[in-house]
């Protein structure tokens, strides 16, 4: 664990010493957008699982299947839009 902290500290100090460049800024924006996309998609996936489980116990297998498909489509759209945002950030747009 100590080695990991030293590496992170070294990277932060090196980044501060070199200053900000357009490439570094673009990389930061890209990483930020990618992290947002991952987080939102994970959240949507967890909500899909929870809603599907709820509907399975309330309405049976058919209700759960409908809920799963509807929420999976929403998760897919979230992932696609996040992917597009990440791509735009990587291009510097």
Element (H, E) at 8: helix 2-18
Residue 19 pLDDT level (bands cut at 50, 70, 90): low
Q: Is residue 8 over pLDDT 80?
A: no
How much is the pLDDT for 28?
A: 87
**Torsion angle (degrees, nearest 10) of CA 62, 44, 30, 1:** -120
Q: Structure pTM?
A: 0.68
Residue 56 pLDDT level (bands cut at 50, 70, 90): very high
Of the chain, the percentage scoring pLDDT greater than 70 comes to 80
């Amino acid at each position: 664990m100590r080695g990991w902290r030293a590496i992170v500290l070294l990277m932060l100090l090196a980044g501060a010493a070199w200053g900000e460049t357009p490439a570094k800024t673009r990389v930061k924006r890209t990483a930020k957008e990618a992290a947002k996309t991952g987080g939102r998609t994970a959240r949507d996936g967890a909500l899909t699982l929870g809603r599907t489980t709820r509907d399975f116990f309330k309405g049976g297998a058919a209700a759960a299947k409908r809920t799963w498909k509807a929420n999976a489509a929403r998760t897919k759209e979230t992932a696609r839009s996040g992917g597009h945002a990440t791509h735009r950030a990587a291009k510097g747009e």
